[in-house]
Structure 1
Amino acid sequence: MIKEEIVKDYLKKIKPVDHMAKRRIMLKEAKSLKISGSLGILDTIAKQVLSIKEEINPYNFKKSIVVMAGDHGVAKESISVFKSSVTGKLLQKISEGKAPINAIANTVGAFLVPVDMGVTEIVKSCPTVLNMKLGYVTNNIAKGPAMHRGQVIEGILKGIQLVSSELLIHSDIIAVGEIGIGNTTSASAITSLLCKISPEETVGQGTGISLDVQDRKINIVKKSLLINMANPDDPIDILTKLGGFEIVGVVGVILGAAINKIPVVVDGFISSVAGLLAYRMSQIVSEYMIISHLSAEPGHKYVVQELDKSPLLSLGMRLGQASGAGLTLPLIESACAVYLKSATIRESEITAEDKNI
């Protein structure tokens, strides 16, 4: 209970974005060559980021990507194309710089932080992977709770403390995502619970499963909801009953970003579920959160609607690894640069005589 009180104390540190900062950005836009609203959704996001981080240097935009990894006991139900051993093997490749997210991070110029929140396979010789293990695999949610409440509290605190550490505290923006075979099953169960919709609406094909396996996955989600009876008004209980170690970590990172006044770009379905849980813990978190893309998973749209957010991209992605969030970073950086680097109307010597109407 002591650690749970610490989480509550952290939540009290989350403050709304300064409304005067928002006003200053709007006044700057009014004087700029950039026509108001001309960047579409990027306009909204650029204003959001610059209201949070007024002192951003457009010539040194510090971008970070966090990838949380964890294994799921429910993977034993064979509801994925891959066995759970693949999580550790993928984390190994991330540590070697050879995974898709490494290519994205290198291309967009982002600092990559892979984190082992609870992977079964031991990743060999990888000083680049942070060890924040809560365990080696969650319990099978089709048979009972995924973990203990204390593990959830510990994981949230670790995520908050990671953002508060020297590794990430100087970031202008953080993208967060995850890997974990079986985690779409957990995410679908949580979505069904929080959004009050049936598993038939939330369960997709994940890593590319057949329709027969998808039907089995739907039944597993129904079973996990019935057995665990998670309290929909208690995010920590939901994570305890239906979550994953990496999902817990993502919740912590999102809360940590809000606490430290850093914009956080959330990846796809699973990470957005973590975002919704963080939002249920503190609604102010929404002011710091950006949804990077709408994934191919059917449950994602319900989570986005619940958050009242507009995803920046819709490309049918389902790669995971914070890939979608990583790909949006240069778009957000460019949009912010437009606000910060564009000449003013006065500097351009544009007057009323230059208008037709």
Structure 2
Amino acid sequence: MTPSADTRGSAALIRAEDSVLAHNYHPLPVVVARAEGVWVEDVEGRRYLDMLAGYSALNFGHRHPDLVAAAHRQLDRLTLTSRAFHNDRLASFAERLAALTRTDMVLPMNTGAEAVESGIKIARKWAYEVKGVPADRATIVVAADNFHGRTTTIVSFSTDATARAGFGPFTPGFRVVPYNDLAALEEAVDATTAAVLIEPIQGEAGVNIPDDGYLAGVRDLTRRAGCLFVADEIQSGLGRTGHTLAVDHESVAPDLVLLGKALGGGIVPVSAVVGRREVLEVLRPGEHGSTFGGNPLAAAVGTAVVELLETGGFQLRAAELGGVLREGLGGLVGRGVTGFRARGLWAGVDVDPEIGTGREIGERLLREGVLVKDTHGSTIRLAPPLTITEEELRGALATLEKVLTT
């Protein structure tokens, strides 16, 4: 029997959530009940253009038919075995994901934070077993204003006071340097450094894009220093920026790449660490694991995601529509927008603080039928599904112009 939908209205459902849910998020006041493609519908039947796409988890839109079909087929066969047994979907998923990302091996997990934690563990173990760093002395260099998740270890190297306050004591072994600063990075790296862990584009910080040559410089520095380059592509990867990976813009091959969000197609949580065989092979049975990591349902959906990306069509679409996005935002500079950063279908837009905070702009856009989310201060991010049409994208930009100029 299919469970019946909750028939309460938006206001009642929001009050109910506030009374029983821990307050770890501050959602916009909309209660989504249905979705298709780039459009969502609330419980009262109002439609909204989704310009957030689940922070890139919905790169292929809501309920993409190929992904839903793959999930339905697998639901009728097998959903979970745990890794105590092999399953008939995992090998193909791993082979095709490794080929797509031009890597050797895959470690399947569930969430982005798990992928980051896994990357940290692998880098430390590699440092001890391969590089020869003394036990418990390994360090990892990260960038200020990073966002890699909210586990205890990850917030230990966050520079966001909200993410850190009240959660100590913190995990040691991390050094923080300014983002996009190769000189500071080189100064921080030494014989104890296991890895440099960075986002090729900092999403939560406002879609911060480094200077041309920065990623290639990180790759060169880590090779010279004999440490790993770990790229967190959980938000930036899988087509979002106009390439399969954001590091592809500089033809850089990290030692490990962390993937998540879009890898689950907006249907199930799927993440992975992909990278060089000689790095991932430091893991041995029993040293790391996940009950749901690599489960058959996740592998089936993940394989369907890889199939969508293998053609290159989504990457090309993001690159082409990215030009429309940049053009539209450029026309708003000085007219409510003080600056923006964009790559592919991803942008951080700085709104004039006199017009409103990012939260206030999000609420105004909500009333006009467009969903976005703020990052910090007066910055909003735009990250529509890669399935958006040019007409829909121009419509969203026109709505943003209306909100900012009237």
The TM-score range, normalised by the shorter chain, is under 0.3
Richer in helix (by share): 1
**TM-score, normalisation: structure 1:** 0.26
Richer in strand (by share): 2
**TM-score, normalisation: structure 2:** 0.24
